[in-house]
Amino acid sequence: MLELRGIGAGYGRAQVLRDMSLRVGSGEILCLLGRNGAGKTTAMKAIMGLVPLMAGEVLLDGVSLGALPPHEIPKAGIGYIPQGRRLFGELTVAQNIEIGLMARGEGREMRERVLGLFPRLRERLGQRANTLSGGEQQMLATARALCLRPKALLLDEPTEGLQPSMIEAIRVVVRQMREEGVAVLLVEQRVDAVLDLADRVAFMENGRVVEEAAAEALRADHAIVDRYVGV
């Protein structure tokens, strides 16, 4: 279980997140929705320790991550698929996967597993990551994060710029993670793409969570969605 308790965070003196709280259970998909600039990416960076916490704490399975240096946070079991993929572009597919495996000392077995999930990557092991197509890059970013055998998985707009079949492939993997008991925190722009995937939805505005609802309720009544992310 991943939990944020009243965290504050920002860049330099500019505070972006204010008293933000959130809870994602194991085997649950929580979708974080919000307008551009609401602070969704910043929240993920704060969980990863890439922006310092000004207040509050982040807990994974009840253990506070606040005191850990940033490079220890993934080792606790958090996989991160950042916005824009951020692969190690000059390294090969195999090397990007290797870095994922190194983080938590995973080996051959895990490598086979992620290559089984994304067979296209197996055909391109020696290719440089920045020469992959957009869809292949997203597969690699996902594979790299799964290599950690994460307890919690953060996905920041994973379907940005992908064709429907590719989006479906990502959704299949996300569902499978839920089956395996991973706590999934998913940021998406397009509401329709997530309503049938998510268990719960949290709406963000100005750096805090302002409303939470079960996805089922939102499917029945779209009004609340329009209030927070409509145009």
Partner 1 sequence: MEFGPHLMLAVLEGAVTAAVLSLTAVGLSLVFGVMRVVNVAHGEFFMLGAVLAWWIAGAFGGHAALGFLAALVVAPLAVGAMAVLADIVILKRIGYDPERTIVATIGLLYILQQVTLMSYGPEARPVAAPFNTRLALPWVEWGEAGPALYWPWGLSITSYKLAVIGAAVAVLVGVWAVMTRTRIGLVMRATQLDRDMALAFGIPVERVYALVFGFGAALAALAAVLIVPISQAHYLMGGDPLLLSFIVVIIGGLGSLPGTVVAALLIGLSDGVISVFFSPTLAKILATLLVALVLVFRPQGLFGARAA
Ligand X SMILES: Nc1ncnc2c1ncn2[C@@H]1O[C@H](COP(=O)(O)OP(=O)(O)OP(=O)(O)O)[C@@H](O)[C@H]1O
Residues in contact with partner 1 by CB under 8 A are 45, 48-50, 69-75, 80, 82, 86-91, 95, 98-100, 102-104, 144, 148
Q: Which is nearer to ligand X, 136 or 157 (CB)?
A: 157
- Nearest approach in angstroms of CB 195 to Mg ion is 20
Nearer to partner 1, 76 or 213 (CB): 76
* 40 lies in the binding site for ligand X (CB under 6 A): yes
Whether the CA torsion 32, 35, 38, 40 is positive or negative: it is: positive
159 binds ligand X (CB under 6 A): no
> Binding string to ligand X for residues 65 to 104, with x set by CB under 6 A, is what?
------------------x---------------------
Rounded to 5 degrees, φ, ψ at 220 are -75, -40
In whole angstroms, the minimum distance from the beta carbon of 86 to partner 1 comes to: 5
Q: Which residue has tokens 């307890």? A: 151
Number of helices and strands (H, E) in the chain?
Answer: 10, 10
CB of 32 to ligand X, least distance (A): 9
* Residue tagged 């839920």 (tokens): 178
Q: Which is nearer to Mg ion, 40 or 144 (CB)?
A: 40
Amino acid at 119: P
Can you say whether the dihedral through the CA atoms of 102, 64, 214, 195 is positive or negative?
A: negative
| 34 belongs to the binding site for ligand X (CB under 6 A) | yes
- DSSP letter for 130, please: G
Nearer to partner 1, 3 or 156 (CB): 156
Least distance in Å: CB of 149 to partner 1?
Answer: 12
Phi, psi of 117 (to 5 degrees): -70, -35
> Cα separation of 76 and 103, whole Å?
10
- Contact between residue 209 and residue 18 where contact means Cβ atoms under 8 Å apart: no
The whole-angstrom separation of Cα 102 and Cα 136 is: 21
x/- mask, Mg ion, residues 40-79, rule CB under 5 A, reads xx--------------------------------------
> Which residues in 80-109 contact Mg ion (CB under 5 A)?
83
Return the exposure string of 180-195: e unless at least 16 CB atoms fall within 10 Å of the residue's CB, then b.
eebbbbbbbeebebbb
How far apart, in whole angstroms, are the C-alpha atoms of residue 217 and residue 231?
Answer: 21
Residue span binding ligand X (CB under 6 A) among the ranges 32-40, 164-172, 193-201, 215-223:
32-40
Interface residues with ligand X (CB under 6 A) are 11, 14, 16, 34, 36-42, 83
